[in-house]
Amino acid sequence: MTGRLRSCWWLAGAAVVLLSACGSKPISRAPVEDRTSVPARAELSPPIAPVKPATEFEIVGKAGYYTVKPKDTLIGIGLESGQSHKDIARWNSLENPNRIEVGQVLRVVPPVADSVALTKAVASGTATATPIAAGSAKPASAPASVAATPNPSPAPVVTAPTAAATASAEDEIGWIWPSNGAVLAGFDEVKNKGLDIGGSAGDAVLASADGKVVYAGAGLRGYGNLIILKHNNVYLTAYAHNQTLLVKEDQSVKKGQKIAEMGNSDADRVKLHFEVRRQGKPVDPAKYLPTR
């Protein structure tokens, strides 16, 4: 009995030792992935491509824009495009109109945003209801149980004049000769972009039609003391080689008004060089002036 009892105690002690060893073994846990800092794949937004601003090179050669060439001046560009040099400077936000660079692209037509908005506002027109005077009788055909609904008259359709109609109306200018002298040289699209009219120093130079002075000065090579008049959105006239200028920029003048005195500034003799420009293109003045 004593030997069997000792065996039992030995087995019990061995079991306790084994259980203690199992209890001291560390428990390994599965790793936990932290997903709080990474958005779900479905929530990721596609990258937004940056919008590339338009550059000067994207409007080179387009109608209404002019690329500056060597020896160009804003006054000459205005004459070639049929615009005031001041307007071109304003449309292009030029801080110093006397400084333009070769290759620079300039707007030479007015922005159309304002005129388009105005045309839409006029064309849209709103109909206003006219109240019926109190005590007026209802139409006999209207049932008493049904309220009569007046039929408003349709709003008049306002259409903006077409460019052709506008140009045709602005072609109607009663031109007169700017000087009484003889014609020394006729129009040549390459060699002489106007008429050369002879005379004596101090002879009157007259405005050929009503207009506004858009330039008065000597800033355009080859023209001497020059006056440019803008008559409407289509026509300009130029009066060159004057001895004395009698008007200033932004001044309105009337047809037949004396604007200068004939001279020989930047010319080989006393003469008036007279040009008519239609939308900036030189045309033969003889076709517009009355027959002598």
Helix (H), strand (E) at residue 80: helix 74-81
| Residue 57 or 101, more confident | 101
| The pLDDT of residue 128 | 38
pLDDT (0 to 100) of residue 4: 58
- What is the average per-residue pLDDT within 218-238? 96
Span of 148-152, 199-203, 216-220, 276-280 with lowest mean pLDDT: 148-152
Q: How confident is the model at residue 232 (pLDDT cuts 50, 70, 90)?
A: very high
> Quick one: pLDDT at residue 14?
55
Instruction: Write down how long the chain is.
Output: 292
Return the pLDDT at 130: 39
Question: What is the model's pLDDT at position 29?
Answer: 53
Question: What does pTM read for this prediction?
Answer: 0.62
169's tokens: 């109306």
The pLDDT value given to residue 129: 38
Determine the average pLDDT of the residues in 195-224.
Answer: 97
* DSSP-assigned letters across all residues of 137-160: PPPTTS-TTS-----PPPPPP--P
Assigned token pair, 284: 């033969």
- Pick 123 or 177 by higher pLDDT: 177
Q: Which of 120-124, 196-200, 270-274 has the lowest mean pLDDT?
A: 120-124
Residues 160-193 pLDDT 10s: 455 555 556 778 899 999 999 999 999 998 899 9
What's the pLDDT score for residue 7? Answer: 57
DSSP structure class, residue 262 = E
Per CATH, the number for 183-287 is 2.70.70.10
- Give 183: exposed, middle or buried? Use CB within 10 Å, 0-12, 13-18, 19+: middle
- Residue 162's CB is within 10 A of a number of other CB atoms, namely 9
Phi/psi at 244 (nearest 5 deg)? Answer: -140, 140
* pLDDT, position 125: 43
Annotated domain spans of the chain: 59-107, 183-287
pLDDT digits (tens, 9 = 90+) for 46-73: 555 444 444 554 555 577 899 999 989 9
Which helix (H) or strand (E) segment is 217 a member of? strand 211-217
The per-residue pLDDT of the chain, averaged, comes to 76
User: Is the pLDDT score of 12 beyond 70?
Assistant: no
Is the pLDDT score of 253 beyond 90?
A: yes
Strand, helix or coil at 76? Answer: helix
The structure tokens 């070769």 sit at: 102
CATH architecture of the domain formed by 59-107:
Roll (3.10)
| Model confidence at 20: pLDDT above 90 | no
pLDDT at 209 over 90: yes
Query: Is residue 121 over pLDDT 80?
Result: no
The reported pLDDT for the residue numbered 46 is 52
Higher pLDDT, 169 or 284: 284
Cβ neighbourhood burial of 263 (10 Å; 0-12, 13-18, 19+): buried
3-state SS class at 291: coil
Of the candidates 184, 183, 176, 179, the one whose C-alpha atom is nearest the C-alpha of residue 260 is 179
If pLDDT is split at 50, 70 and 90, which confidence band does 269 have? very high
Evaluate if residue 133 carries a pLDDT over 90: no
CA 51/CA 38 separation, integer angstroms: 28
